[in-house]
């Protein structure tokens, strides 16, 4: 996260998809060099850090615990995670899409 914040403060906040992709790639390379981790692990953590830095939200998705069946959302400052099943998420998104189209 510190690398992402520093990169944003030195350059500027990326507003395009390409800018976010480049920032994620720089962060991934940094993590691989610093932590000697796999490209997949570095990319996952980089994408999460970039998203958190660019979209100041108190909620993060726990990518280590999330599965294809559920998302674990961690609210900063709270000890418990919120679990949303993919079925609940799909219903929520379908309702949002229907509301947006009407």
Q: What is the pLDDT of residue 79?
A: 82
Residue 40, token pair as written in the block: 């997949």
- Rounded distance, CA 102 to CA 31, Å? 45
Residue whose structure tokens are 């790639």: 25
Residue 59 DSSP SS3: strand
In this prediction, residue 84 carries a pLDDT of 86
Give the span between the Cα atoms of 64 and 69, in whole angstroms: 13
Report pLDDT for 32: 92
For 28, the token pair is 């991934």
Nearest to 8 by CA among 46, 54, 52, 45: 54
For residue 29, the model assigns a pLDDT of 92
* Segments in the chain below pLDDT 70: 1, 13-15, 55-59, 63
Where is 98: in which H helix or E strand? helix 86-101
């Amino acid at each position: 996260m510190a690398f992402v914040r520093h990169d944003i403060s030195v350059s500027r906040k990326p507003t395009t998809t390409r800018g976010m992709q480049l920032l994620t790639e720089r962060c991934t390379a940094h993590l691989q060099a610093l932590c000697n981790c796999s490209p997949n692990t570095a990319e996952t953590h980089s994408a999460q850090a970039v998203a958190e830095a660019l979209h100041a939200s108190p909620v993060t998705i726990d990518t280590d615990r999330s599965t294809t069946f559920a998302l674990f959302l961690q609210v900063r400052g709270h000890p418990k995670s919120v679990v949303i099943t993919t079925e609940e998420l799909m219903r929520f998104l379908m309702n949002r899409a229907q509301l947006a189209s009407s």
